[in-house]
Amino acid sequence: MAAKFILFFLIIFLSIAINMPDSMITRLGFDANYLFAALAAVAITGLIVHRRILLVVLVILSTIGANLPVGVADRLGLDRDMLLATLIALVVIPYVAGKVEMK
């Protein structure tokens, strides 16, 4: 119970901190990139606790990324082919793992 509260608190705190103006983030002694990385790490950790939700979120994000227009994907620095390969892996690997475990 305490771990869920701490995880929830960290996500809320980091979300608020990231949305502050850059000058205020700098005044507090943080780097916005580190805050983004910390928020991503905490969010992914929370999703790993509930693996089914993580799989759904990853499939949704990979689908959106794989279907981005070429110009938008290039501006974001994303490779659409890699996102499509990730999407296929996210769908195929759990299926294969389930078949292997059954034997």
Confidence of residue 1 (pLDDT cuts 50, 70, 90): low
- Predicted confidence at residue 10, as pLDDT, reads 78
Measured distance CA(103)–CA(94) in Å, rounded: 15
pLDDT at residue 64 above 70? yes
Distances (CA, A) of 92 to 13, 26, 40, 64, 80: 36, 44, 25, 18, 18
**Integer-rounded Cα radius of gyration of the chain:** 18
